[in-house]
Amino acid sequence: MSHKSIWTKIPNFFDAIKFQESIFALPFAYIGMLLAIQDIPSLDKFIWITLAMVSARTVGMIANRIIDRNIDSKNPRAAQRHLPQGILSVADLLIPGILASLIFIACAYMLNTLALILAPLALLYLIAYPLTKRFTWAANLLLGWALAIAPSAAWIGMVGKLDWQPVLLSASVALWAGSFDIIYHSQDVAFQKRENLHSVATRFGIPSAFKIAQSMDLMAVICLVILGIWMGLGIFYFFGCGLSAAFLVYKYKLVKPDDLSKMGMSFMRINALVSCSMLLGTIGSLMI
């Protein structure tokens, strides 16, 4: 392979794994990091946790793309992705995936013993969860828990132990991310039924799926509020909770069970706004 073709494939690789969407999960990892010590972390801890989170998400996205490449090729919505189109090969993703796995393990090693012990389990979950849509409608919920690893993992990375507070934070992330995945895959109900794939929308219907997603978003906000009360966080944190709740309400103005046409970047940006609102609220609470 020529150097030119390698450099050409690098932008395609980052596009294939939607690298820019790391912003969805990173803020909650940083929230876990900050709340673990109720202070600003050292630079080296910040760097290792950032590298760990980005590399872990990279592994998860690569696994998703490789495992689902044949499904994607049949799905009109996903058929233009890089593997089905032949823009990238499996090797083009697999090699960076192995490298990202090694980086994740190395970061865990640099943080502490418990992080290192749990790192392979986290990787195993991230690699395996794309398979679940083949046999259970709870696949959307399991995707939520893949993102929910981040805040608890960051907490462990900071203090070397897991407490109940980060578990509650992770539960909130799981509910929020799972609700988004439920709505997002409502686009694919006809295709999933044809291919014998499973999701909440396929199992219960799109209107009921939206009600489930709304309930999960409500529970996510409640978990965040309880966490703030439990940890004695300040007014800025609760302002972040309120702002996040407003964005989640707006999400259901953009898309409805009978109108999924706005499931585009404007809808996707809601995730970034929610997570960034909570991060800024947490920073404000701890600093002021």
Residue 254 in contact with residue 270, Cβ under 8 Å?
A: yes
Q: Give the start-to-end residue ranges of the domains of the chain.
A: 3-287
Q: Determine the pLDDT at residue 249.
A: 95
Rounded Cα distance between 19 and 106, Å, is: 20
Question: Which pLDDT score is estimated for 6?
Answer: 73
Return averaged pLDDT per consecutive 10 residues of the chain, 288 residues in all. 66 88 83 96 97 96 97 94 94 96 98 98 97 97 96 98 97 96 94 97 97 98 98 97 96 92 78 94 94
Q: Phi, psi (5° rounding) for residue 256?
A: -135, 165
126 bridge partner residues: none
- Report the pLDDT value the prediction gives residue 153, as an integer from 0 to 100: 97
| H or E, element range at 233 | none
- Name the nearest CA neighbour of 178 among 199, 153, 154: 199
CATH number of 3-287: 1.10.357.140
Quick one: tokens of 66?
């490789």
Which among 17, 278, 60 has a CA at the least distance from the CA of 151?
A: 278
Using alpha carbons, select from 7, 17, 31, 56 the residue that is nearest to residue 176: 31
Question: What pLDDT, on a 0 to 100 scale, did the predictor assign at position 265?
Answer: 65
Tokens linked to 17: 């794994």
Residue 266: predicted pLDDT: 62
